[in-house]
Amino acid sequence: MKYSGRFLYFNWLTLILIYLVVIAGSFVRITGSGMGCPDWPKCFGEWIPPTDASELPESYQEDYLEKRSKKVKKFSVLLESMGMESSAKRLKNDPSVYEEEPFNAQKTWIEYVNRLFGFLAGNFMLAAFFWLLFAYRKSKLIWVCGFNLILMAFQAWFGSIVVATNLVPWTITVHMLLALLIIAIQIYVIVVLTNKSDLFKKFALAPWMKWMMWFIFAITFYQMFLGTQVRESIDHLIKAGVSQDNWTDELGLIFYIHRSFSWLVLILLTVIFWLNEKGRGYMPIRYAFVLLAIELISGVLLAHVDMPGLVRTVHLLFASMLFGVLWMFLIRVRGVQP
C-alpha cells in the first residue's frame, strides 16, 4: 500500500513530539519539578496553573494529600491483585509518599510544560490513527497505531501514578521504559510508511553483523535501564548529603556495570563502524557512532565533573536517540511489509 508524503511527515512530527516529551520529562527530573503539580491531569485544579501562592486555597496541601492517599491505596490494591504484595506493602508504608511539597511557581510550570508536550504527542497519535482509519482502511498499521495510542493513554495514566506516589523510584523506571516502547512502535510505523522509497531500502548485512547489531541494541536498552537505576541511587545520595566526589564509591556494582557496558558498546560499534566505512557506508551506523560518542562524553562528564544538570538531559536524549537509530536500522535490515 502506498502512503502519502504528508502522512509520513505527520508521523515524523509525532515522533519528534514524543522525543520532546522524553526531554521535558528529563528536565522535570533534574530540576526536581515532578511534584510541581500535585494533581493530574489538571494542575492545582486548573487547566492553566497559578503563578503565585496567593492564588491557591489555604488548605491545598491537605486536600491534595488526601486525594493522593486514596489513589495510592487503589494502586496498592491493583499491585496486590497482580501478585506484587511486597511492592504494594512498601508503597503503602513509605513515608515519603505522603510528603507534600510547598508551592513553587517555576517547578509548577516546568511540570506543566512537560504535560503540554505529552498532550500534543498524544493528540498527534490520535490524529494519525483516525487518518489511517479513514484514508487507509485496509492497512495493518491501524492495529499497530491503535495499540500505540492505547499505550500512550496508559502512559498518561501511569504518569498520574508517578505523581500520586510522590515519584517512587521504580515507577519512574517503568515510566521511562514505557516511553521507549512507544518510541519503538512509532519508529516501526515510520519505517513501514517509507518501505518502498529509495531512501529506505532494505539494508544488507552479513549474518554475524546482524547478530552483533542486535547485541548492541540489547545492551543499549539494558544500559538505559541501568542508567535509571544509577540515577535513582544518585537521588538517594543527594538526599543523604553525599558529595559528588564520593558518588562513584557509594554507587557500587550497578555503576561499574553501567560504565563497563558503555565501553563494550563503544568497542563493538567501532568495529561495525569501521567495517561499514570499508563497505556500503550506511548512514544510520554513522549516526549511531556519533550519538554514542556524545552520549559517552556526557556520561564521563556526569561521573567526574561537576556539570550543570542539563548535561543529564543531554545524556538521556542521545541515549534515547541512539536507541531509536539502532532500532530503525535493525527493522530496515530485517525488512517490513506495509
pLDDT confidence bin for 236, thresholds 50/70/90: low
- Residue-wise pLDDT for 265-308, tens only, equals 888 888 888 888 887 778 888 888 888 888 777 776 666 665 55
Give the range with max mean pLDDT: 178-182, 212-216, 252-256, 307-311. Answer: 178-182
| Claim to verify: residue 141 and residue 223 sit in the same structural domain | no
Cell readout for 199 is: 531512501
**What is residue 22's predicted lDDT score, i.e. its pLDDT?**
86
Residue 274 sits in a domain whose CATH number is: 1.20.120
If asked whether residues 44 and 151 sit together in one domain, one would say: yes
Query: What pLDDT sits at residue 199?
Result: 46
Residues 82 and 52 in one domain: yes
- pLDDT recorded at residue 182: 95
The verdict on 69 and 166 lying in the same domain is: yes
Concatenating the DSSP letter of every residue in 163-192 gives HHTTS-HHHHHHHHHHHHHHHHHHHHHHHH
Residue that wins the pLDDT comparison between 192 and 1: 192
Return the pLDDT at 158: 82
Tell whether the model's pLDDT for residue 198 goes beyond 50: no
Q: Where are the alpha helices (DSSP H) in 52-168?
A: 60-81, 85-93, 105-135, 141-164
- Which cell numbers in the block locate residue 129? 490513527
**Cα(117)–Cα(284) distance, rounded to whole angstroms?**
27
* pLDDT for 120: 93
Q: Worst-scoring range by mean pLDDT, 185-194, 242-251, 321-330? A: 242-251
> CB of 132 within 8 A of CB of 142?
yes
Residues 176 and 274 in one domain: no
Q: What is the pLDDT of residues 33-82, one digit of tens each?
A: 777 777 777 788 788 888 888 887 777 777 777 777 777 777 788 778 87
Looking at per-residue pLDDT, the higher value among 282 and 152 belongs to 152
pLDDT given at position 132? 92
Task: Please give the average per-residue pLDDT across 140-162, as a whole number.
Answer: 88
Q: How many domains does the chain have?
A: 2
Query: 154-184: per-residue pLDDT in tens?
Result: 888 887 777 666 656 677 778 888 999 999 9
Q: Which cell numbers in the block locate residue 261?
A: 557496558
What's the mean per-residue pLDDT of the chain?
Answer: 79
pLDDT band at 148 (very low <50, low <70, confident <90, very high): very high
Please report the pLDDT score of residue 313 as a whole number.
73
Closest Cα to residue 100, out of 36, 175, 46, 40? Answer: 36
Alpha-carbon distance of 212 to 30, in angstroms, equals 34
Label residues 100-111 b or e (16+ Cβ within 10 Å = b).
Answer: eeebbeebbbbb
- The helix (H) or strand (E) run that includes residue 38 is none
Alpha carbon distance 60, 11 (integer Å) = 40
Tell whether 9 and 132 lie within a shared domain.
yes
Asked if 188 and 51 sit in the same domain, the reply is: yes
The more confidently predicted of residues 124 and 229 is 124
The residue among 140, 174, 198 that closes a domain is: 198
Provide CB contacts within 8 A for 155, sequence distance 6+: 175, 178, 179, 182
pLDDT band at 189 (very low <50, low <70, confident <90, very high): very high
Residue after which a domain boundary falls, among 129, 163, 198? 198
Provide the whole-model pTM: 0.81
Residues 15 and 151 in one domain: yes
Phi, psi of 309 (to 5 degrees): -60, -20
- Of 198, 216, 240, at which residue does a domain stop? 198
What is the domain extent for residue 245? Answer: 202-338
242 with 312, same domain: the answer is yes
Whether residues 264 and 181 share a domain: the answer is no
pLDDT at residue 52, rounded to an integer: 84
pLDDT band at 140 (very low <50, low <70, confident <90, very high): confident
Residue 202 has pLDDT above 70, yes or no: no
Please state, for a pLDDT cut of 90, what percent of the chain lies above it.
Answer: 15
- The residue with greater pLDDT, 296 or 114, is 114
121 pLDDT tier (thresholds 50, 70, 90): very high
Same domain, 220 and 133: no
Angle between helices 207-239 and 310-334 (to 10 degrees): 160
Tell me: do 180 and 229 sit in the same domain. Answer: no
